Structure 1
């Protein structure tokens, strides 16, 4: 859902938000209103206020469950590190953890679930022929595949059925 829930946002600063409009001229009522508006922008000493019930109602229960371990860890570290640094470390640790899980999942897939002759689906990894130009060592390029049966093999010749 959009931040304004589909309602067009309204600027509460009015026309005096821009310096150009203020230089054109302001009435006494606009000056008093702007003075009060600027005073209202200053936060109180106890702000921002963290209301636990508000955040509990606002967040998904599944999200609260998977965030709980790092929340507990960095809540205990907050007195040592400081609130802002603990929040930064918690954010970075969570993101690095997700990246690590992603890398491990990709590694597992290509190690155990890759495309070979036993499966119809899956990602197939192929190597392209290296570019060897005249005058470079290895020109003309000769493939490691010796005979026609080596092409489109997909690992069959290494299996017990493919060996003779």
Structure 2
């Protein structure tokens, strides 16, 4: 859903938001309005306010569950690191952890679920032949496959049955 919920956004700064407009001339009412508007932009000492109930209403229970371990660890580290640094480290730790899980998942899949003669599914990983130019060692390139039957065996000949 759009940030304005389908309502066209309205600039609250008015005509005097641009410096050029202010240089053209402002009325006393516009000056008073701009002064009040600038004062309203200053945050109080306690802002932004963290309201736990508001956060609980806005976040999914599943999200709260998987975030809980890192939140607990970095809540204990917050007095040592500071609030902003602890939040940054918590963000990076979560992303790095997800990256590691992703890499390990891909490794596991290709190690144990590859496409061979025993399974119907799985990704086929094909190696292209290396480029060997004249004058390089191994020219002309000869394939390790000795017979025509070796080309589509899907590791059948190495089976121990």
Q: Give the TM-score band, short-chain normalised.
A: over 0.9
Matched, 1:104 2:104: yes
**How many Å separate the matches in 2 of 1:9 and 1:122?**
51
**How many Å separate the matches in 2 of 1:31 and 1:51?**
35
- 2:22 is matched with which residue? 22
- 2:62 is matched with which residue? 62
Deviation at 1:132, TM superposition (A): 1.4
Deviation at 1:3, TM superposition (A): 1.8
**How many Å separate the matches in 2 of 1:14 and 1:114?**
63
Mean CA deviation greater in 38-47 or 23-32: 23-32
- 2:34 is matched with which residue? 34
**How many Å separate the matches in 1 of 2:27 and 2:80?**
52
What is the DSSP-based 3-state SS (H/G/I as helix, E as strand, rest coil) of the residue aligned with 1:38? Answer: helix
> Unaligned stretches of 5+ in structure 1?
none
Deviation at 1:17, TM superposition (A): 1.4
- 2:133 is matched with which residue? 133
What is the DSSP-based 3-state SS (H/G/I as helix, E as strand, rest coil) of the residue aligned with 2:149? Answer: helix
Deviation at 1:130, TM superposition (A): 0.9
Runs (4+) of structure 1 exceeding 6 A deviation are none
**How many Å separate the matches in 1 of 2:6 and 2:155?**
56
TM-score by length of 2: 0.94
- 1:1-164 equivalences in 2 (<5 Å): 1-161=1-161
TM-score by length of 1: 0.93
**How many Å separate the matches in 1 of 2:139 and 2:27?**
84
Q: How many residue pairs are counted as aligned between the two chains?
A: 161
The Cα RMSD (Å) is 1.2
Deviation at 1:8, TM superposition (A): 2.1
**How many Å separate the matches in 1 of 2:95 and 2:49?**
26
